[in-house]
Amino acid sequence: MTDAAAIRIALVDDDDLFRESLGLNLADEGYAVDSFDRGAPLLDHFAAGGTADIVLLDWRMPGMDGIDVLRQMRERGIDVPVIFLTVLSDQIYEEAALAGGALDFVEKSRSLSILLKRIGLILGGAKGGAEDSGAAALLRLGSLELRQEHSRAFWKDTRIDLTLTEFNIVSLMAAKPEQDVSYRQIYDLVHGKDFVAGFGPSGYRANVRAFIKRIRQKFRAADPAFDCIKNYPGFGYRWGTEAADGVAGPDRDDCDD
């Protein structure tokens, strides 16, 4: 589990009220927070020797938007993990953020607990330590390649722009090829063990199905024949063998119990 007291977060947002509110909430959780109202002061902070363990970066800002800030960070060799905070929910914006080198994309309307979970997942992986080196840092399974160090997925040498959550779901299934992974296991990975949401004891399944549908869409955008995520109706999913006929099978999500 991430030690919040040892973590420094750079929060960049031109909305003074939002920045102050989120900064106070993060400080209450034990994080050290440096706040910036635009991208330029953040870049000056790094240029002067300042540090951060993670950057929470607004998408829309005057002068220099979040994508430009991220691009300049990477050009200057600043490889700090970045989560975009935005009101823009369309997938095209998420894909642009991930393609630019961000690790995740969180809508501002989401609860603080969701953001904290994403921060914990990123920093937990980034600080995984030397024991996670070697084979564990790279997983190859057929046409799939998962680079754990940077949470990047490739399919037939084409990068698939997954969010950190989506990457972790794929990693969970790929680590157990041809073994069924339950809805609850996947949901716990996303939201934390024993988190309760949805209607009824199985209400969380719809949330998992939505994640799987988006992951399939992203792989099929690169390869229309992709068919490795198999559905076990009423239970969960598995990472299966690659289709031999070059034609993707139908999604079974609508048939789940």
51: left (phi over 0), alpha (psi -120 to 50) or beta: beta
Domains defined for the chain, CATH in brackets? 4-126 (3.40.50.2300), 134-255 (1.10.10.10)
Rounded Cα gap, residues 94 and 102, in angstroms? 9
pLDDT over 90 (residue 165): no
pLDDT tens for each residue of 29-69: 899 999 999 999 999 999 999 999 999 998 888 888 888 89
Rounded Cα gap, residues 232 and 94, in angstroms? 29
Q: Name the one residue in this structure whose structure tokens are 């989506």.
A: 166
Residue 25's H or E segment, with its range, is: helix 16-28
What pLDDT does residue 40 have?
A: 93
pLDDT tens for each residue of 126-161: 444 333 434 457 888 899 999 877 778 999 999 888
pLDDT tens for each residue of 200-249: 455 567 778 888 988 999 999 999 999 999 998 888 999 998 754 444 44
pLDDT over 50 (residue 199): no
Rounded Cα gap, residues 188 and 182, in angstroms? 10
Q: What are phi and psi of 231, to 5 degrees?
A: -105, 135
Average pLDDT on 176-181 reads 90
Does the reported pTM lie above 0.85?
no
What pLDDT does residue 254 have?
A: 41
Residue 239's H or E segment, with its range, is: strand 236-239
**Neighbouring residues of 92: CB distance < 8 A, sequence distance ≥ 6:** none
CA 36 to chain centroid, in Å, comes to 23
Render 153-209 in DSSP notation, one character per residue: EEETTEEE---HHHHHHHHHHHTSTTS-EEHHHHHHHHH-TT---SSSTTTTHHHHH
